[in-house]
Structure 1
C-alpha cells in the first residue's frame, strides 16, 4: 500500500506549538511592517531618529572605505606621474627651447621693423574719420550702384575719400556738393578695389557685379587657394583705401577667383563714416592728429583784374 501524500507533524505537542507560534510570529511581523510603512507614509519624519542612528553606526565603515578609495586613486596617480614624468619633462624642455627661439626671432623682427621705419620716416596713420553722415538715397533699379550721403564740401568731404560702415567698406566719394556727396559703391561694375585675404595676404582685385556681390580675381594665376568663408580686406595698394578694412566674404569659388558677399552693405545701415584718402593721410599725419579748429569761411578768390572790372561796372 502506497504511503499517504501528506504527513502530519506528529503527535508531539511541542512540535505543534512550535509550528503555531511560527505562523503567529510571521503574521505579527507582516502586521508590524505594514504598520511601519503606513506610519512612514503618513509622517516622513517619524523614523528620522532611527535613520540618523543607523547612519551614525555605519559612518565609520563608510569613512574607512572612502579613505581607501582615495588612497588607491592617489597611489595610481603617483605611479602614473612617476612613469610619465621623464617624457613630460623632456617635452616641456623642447617646448621651452622652441619658445626661446621664437621669442628671439620676434625680437629681431621688431628691431628690424623699427630700423626700417626710422630709415623711411614712416608714421602711423590715425584711423580718424573726417565726418559722419546719413545714407539718404541709393540706386535700386539701375545697373549702376550709387548712394547719396548727407555730408559734402561744407564738412570737409572731397572726391576719392573712402566711405565705411562698422562692418566694412561701402565705396568712395565720386561727386561732392555743398551739403551732399555721391558715393560710388563697391558693388558698382566700375569699382575696382585691391584686396587681400585676411589670414595670409593672397592678393586679388574686387570688382562689382551690380547685383550686390563682388567678383574676386586673383592677381597671381595658378591653383586657386580661395575657399568659401574667406574674408578679404583692403590691401592699401593704390593709396586710396587704408589697409585692413573689411570688404567681403567668399560665398562661391570660381576658376580664377571667387564670388564674394559685401560686408558693408549700405542697405543695412543708416549712418556711414568718411575717412581721408590713405596716401594723403600718410603724407600729412600731423594735420589729421591735430584737434579741429573752427575757422571762418574763406572768401571766394578773385581773378586778376576782377577789382577793376567791378569798379568799372559800378561807374
Structure 2
C-alpha cells in the first residue's frame, strides 16, 4: 500500500505525532477529571436517559413473549390448583358428613346402651338390614336369627319405645312386625288415667289406632301409652305411643283415638331384642291331668297296666296367629 492510503493519525509527519500526543493528553485529563469529579458519570447518566427508552423498545417483543408464557403457565397452574382444591373440599365435606353420621350413630348406640342398663333384662343388640314399609305390611329385617338364639314372639324395642315383635326367624336373619302393621295389636294402658285398651296398627302411614274407647273414658291428646303387660308378650311399662287426636268412632258408640308411635320406626338402625319374655305363639297348651290320690294310687307291687298298641295320641296343634 502506498503512503497516500495510510491513516494520517499514524503518519510519519510531525503533525501526526503532535495530534497523537494531544489525544493522549486529553484522555489522561478526562480520566483524572472523571476519577476526581465524576464528570463523565454525569455524561453517561444523561446518555442513559436518552438511550434507555431505545433499549426498552427493542426488548418489547422478547418481554411480551415472556409475559405471555408466564400468563399461560400461571393460568394452567391456577386451574390445576383450583381443581385440587375442589377435590380436597369435596373430600373434606364427605369426611365431615361421615363424621356427623358416625357421631349420630354413636349417640343412638349410647341411648341403646343406657336403655339396656336401665332395663336389667337380657337383651340382644341387632341391626336393621332391610325395610318393608308397604300399604299392608310394616316389617323390618334384622341381622340376627335362629343361630343367635332369636325366637318368634320376642319383643323388639329401641331407645324410645316398643317397635314390634319377631314373627319369622331364619338361620341368620329375622323378620319383625312393627306396631304400626295392620295385623299387629299391643295391649296398652293410658299412663295418666290407667285405662286399659288395645292399640292396633293402621294403614294410614305409621299411626296407631285405639278404636274401642268408652265414651265416658278420660282420654285426650298428649296422653302417653305404655304396655300393660296383659298377654305376656310385652313387659309392662314400655312406651308405645302418644295420643294425637280423639274423636267419635264411625258407629258413634265409642271413641277412636290416633297415636304416634314412641319408637323411631323409620330412623332406628340399631334395636334391642328382648330375650327372657318370649311366649309361644297361640293359646297355651292344656295342663296335664292330676294323678290319683295317694290312697287310690296302685301299689308298687301291682303290675302296671298294659299300654295300648299304636302311636300315642297327637297333641292338639296351637292356633296360629298373634294373640291380641
Shorter-chain TM-score bucket reads 0.3 to 0.5
Q: Please state which structure has a larger fraction of its residues in helix.
A: 1
TM-score (norm 2): 0.45
Q: Is the radius of gyration larger for structure 1 or structure 2?
A: 2
TM-score (norm 1): 0.47
